A and B are shown apart, each in its own frame.
Chain A
Amino acid sequence: ILNVEQSPQSLHVQEGDSTNFTCSFPSSNFYALHWYRWETAKSPEALFVMTLNGDEKKKGRISATLNTKEGYSYLYIKGSQPEDSATYLCAFISSGGSNYKLTFGKGTLLTVNP
């Protein structure tokens, strides 16, 4: 079982604050890293797919970076809004020959207070 860690486990910020959280994963057999946004009672929604060391991706106020050599990815939210409140999951995809396996972290629960 691969170890994918997310920190912090939960986070409370005020509307307008910028915030970031971390996903750590094994640095070997890396194929891709996914970030998802997951609201209660809904299915996870894909945010980013990151495949190359040094990747930086952006969608609106949310961006992510990737360091495959040291095994971490950061997710940033600029100017948090109450509607950003959700659990943010990362998922590490490893490759082993022709097989791929996806492992989720436990998520960071973000609460944005108005």
Chain B
Amino acid sequence: ETGVTQTPRHLVMGMTNKKSLKCEQHLGHNAMYWYKQSAKKPLELMFVYSLEERVENNSVPSRFSPECPNSSHLFLHLHTLQPEDSALYLCASSQGTGLGYEQYFGPGTRLTVT
């Protein structure tokens, strides 16, 4: 148990659906991240929030829309996804964004786009 929770753990959605992934951290951290983990590929950073402000957006398609209403919660809103978006989506948090801060990961949401 890392102190980072994600819901739902599994999600199946059609290409025309709209859904949201939720992440909550109970560690008092100031930074939160979304990563995508696809089969046979390294983890890819999608978004970074520091003190509720988006500080990095790694060329992610607009069909993924993040939201960080406060330092404890992070959402990833999904719409009109493609089958290649099927992956494990991992949320992480860290105390700060400095180089030495380790990131703590949640268990992930396994997304399948049909």
Partners in one complex: no
